[in-house]
Amino acid sequence: MSLKYIQPFDGLRGIGALFIIAYHWPGQIIRISHGWEFMQLFFVMSGYLITMVLQEERDKFPFKRYALRFYLKRSLRLFPLYFVYLFFWLAVYWMLPDNNPLKEGVEEVHRHAAWLFTYTYNFMTMTNFLRDVDYSSGLLSTHLWTLSLEEQFYLVFPFIVFFLNKAQLRKALLFAVVAAPLLRVICYFVFRHLNPDDPFWIAQNLVRMPFLQMDSLAFGALLAVYKFEKIENPVKIFRWATAGIVLIYAGNILYTKYVQGISYYELTFGKKIAENWMTHNYLFVYIITMVNAWCALMLLCVIRGHRMSWLLESRPLVFIGRHSYAIYLFHLPLLFLFFALASAVTPLHDDHKRMLLEIPLFLLYLSFVCGFAYLSLRYFESWFLKFKNRY
């Protein structure tokens, strides 16, 4: 199976980006409590694409050139925009006077700079809790743990692909798929013992630790090393898997409400955060693995050509998918900026008025974010990307 450009992958990225944006949207009409599933999709897709690249490079080059090419290309793709993002907010923090209320909002980047600049931010909540230091995160950094997790994967995985033969690689990936859920169960009880009063902290660490998230990347990698030819109709299996996940969610919500007498709103502390209830009724034990498998099935359907081309190859979704890196990186600070500008134009304190304007505001915000991402890719990121083909 050779690597080639699969346009519907950009469409999938576009759908994932839209769900993540909607997940963070502070609205009443556009109000979803699930977006993390599509974050898993990005992890599974990364596992597949990176494994495909590494397998081709391994067969062409000795290790030194193989590693150099991979790390230079990944650095040129990811580092420039990421570090500009961090340096920008640090500069804002240093320039603002101490009595400026905005300084408190950007202080988090300064406070967590060591974690952010070393791509270890996914360890921050755990380590700072153990050190009895503030482990809260804000609008500018709360989403950056995913980039740290991926960088740690990139740091280790090229060595695994190069030095293991195909049989050993398959066994290692299958081990990761089986071991990660078991480790999540063990770590849940450890985390609950450490911090029993904060289920959100427990859930955060269950998805942010690399050894607890390795099955998502392994599921994608398995798609690259196995052809799965015995699965003749992945679409049918994908539909059944989708129905199963929906039923599990629905059953869990109904059981919690009518048997345990706790509403979904109470479980999430009135927030649109699915992680707050992931530890309730031990849902995390099986739902993360099921979602990873569901994402892998989705990719298999696309790889096999069984796809809704009218949707996944549509120009809007492909556009969003191609610009998804900048969209993801900037969508939260741009959300704050957008509402600040919108409030200056028309007061949004009235709840009724906000509901009437919510859909137009969301579409305007989406255009705002996509326009920013387009300018970023065309006039900044592309300057670095042109060097990728020189190595």
Q: Report the alpha-carbon distance of residue 80 to residue 72 in Å, rounded.
A: 12
263: nearest Cα among 251, 273, 255, 275: 255
Q: Which residues contact 210 (CB under 8 A, 6 or more apart)?
A: 122, 149, 152, 153
- 269 Ramachandran zone, left/alpha/beta (phi>0; psi -120 to 50): left
User: What is the residue-level pLDDT of the chain in tens, covering all 391 positions?
Assistant: 446 677 889 999 999 999 999 888 887 777 776 778 889 999 999 999 999 999 999 999 999 999 999 999 999 999 999 999 999 999 999 998 888 878 888 899 999 999 999 999 999 999 999 999 988 888 899 999 999 999 999 999 999 999 999 999 999 999 999 999 999 999 999 999 999 888 888 988 999 999 999 999 999 999 999 878 888 888 899 999 999 999 988 888 888 888 888 776 666 544 444 556 677 778 888 889 999 999 999 999 998 877 676 788 899 999 999 999 999 999 999 998 887 777 666 665 566 666 677 888 899 999 999 999 999 999 999 999 988 777 6
User: Which tokens go with 369?
Assistant: 């974010």
User: Which tokens go with 155?
Assistant: 């740091």
Q: Report the alpha-carbon distance of residue 123 to residue 209 in Å, rounded.
A: 7
Q: What is the DSSP string of 9-46?
A: HHHHHHHHHHHHHHHH---SSS--S--HHHHHHHHHHH
Q: Helix (H, G, I), strand (E, B), or coil: what is residue 181? A: helix
> Other CB atoms closer than 10 Å to residue 49's CB: what's the count?
18
Q: Report the alpha-carbon distance of residue 241 to residue 221 in Å, rounded.
A: 20
Q: Which residues contact 58 (CB under 8 A, 6 or more apart)?
A: 66, 161, 162
Q: What is the DSSP string of 73-139?
A: HHHHHHHHHHHHHHHHHHHHHHHS-TT-HHHHHHHHHHHTHHHHHTT-GGGHHHHHHHTT------T
Q: Report the alpha-carbon distance of residue 66 to residue 75 in Å, rounded.
A: 14
DSSP 303: H
> Other CB atoms closer than 10 Å to residue 222's CB: what's the count?
22
**Token pair 């083909």: residue:** 389
264: nearest Cα among 283, 292, 288, 286: 283
First to last CA, the chain: 23
Is the overall model pTM greater than 0.85, yes or no?
A: yes
Q: For residue 227, with 0-12 CB atoms within 10 Å meaning exposed, 13-18 middle and 19 or more buried, which class applies?
A: exposed
Q: For residue 336, with 0-12 CB atoms within 10 Å meaning exposed, 13-18 middle and 19 or more buried, which class applies?
A: middle
Q: Report the alpha-carbon distance of residue 207 to residue 246 in Å, rounded.
A: 20
